[in-house]
Amino acid sequence: MRVAEKKIVLKEGTECLLRSPEEEDAPAALKFFLTVTEESPYLLAETKECTVEKERTILRRQIEDENGAMIAAFLRGGGEIAGLVSVRRVRASEKLRHRAELGISVVGKWQGKGLGSALLSAAEEWAKKEALKQLELSVFSENRRALSLYEKFGYEIWGARKNAFRFADGRYNDEVIMGKFL
């Protein structure tokens, strides 16, 4: 589903346009995805078979999906994505359609500038317009930056899964489950 465009200015003055990425944004989306997965050990996605065509298909499906939205932060000029949030109903069934899961990622050099907050606010605005009642997410227990952002926005810890994530070096990390009632 598409969301309305919104211009924002980051703490240091950089202008961004928050909007749903379209199929023609596939090269920028792929570059963003490859960058954040390279930078962060906290993303679950794999990059093994990423292509512009596959990204184009993902973006097309996201626009057509009535149960979710993707919002990207395009830097001034529109060609580079600095951050992205996705929010999607857990299921469309009547008993579960009040709940949605969200995920957010920001390129390292754009972290700490207010972009994560802007993206999270935009996701919550969309969720409220869609009459959602609660947002849920999961995060690596050692990802202090993300935990801090979510707590700042009123998300609470609802539980945890021990050793849910296994890093390439063999270490394990707990999955923290958080949520917020809208």
Q: What is the pTM of this model?
A: 0.93
CB atoms within 10 A of CB 116: 24
At 16 the pLDDT is 96
At 92 the pLDDT is 85
pLDDT tens-place string over residues 34-59: 999 999 999 887 676 788 999 999 99
Helix, strand or coil for residue 66?
A: coil
Mean pLDDT of 4-23: 94
Percent of the chain at pLDDT above 90?
A: 88
Domains observed in the chain: 6-136 (3.40.630.30)
CB atoms within 10 A of CB 51: 10
Mean pLDDT of 88-108: 94
At 77 the pLDDT is 76
Q: What is the C-alpha separation between 4 and 17, in angstroms, rounded?
A: 10
- The average confidence (pLDDT) of the chain is 94
Mean pLDDT of 60-78: 91
Mean pLDDT of 134-149: 97
Q: What is the C-alpha separation between 152 and 112, in angstroms, rounded?
A: 13
Q: Which of 156, 85, 94, 176 is closest to 125 using CA atoms?
A: 85
Placement of tokens 């996201």 in the chain:
62
pLDDT tens-place string over residues 160-174: 999 999 998 999 999
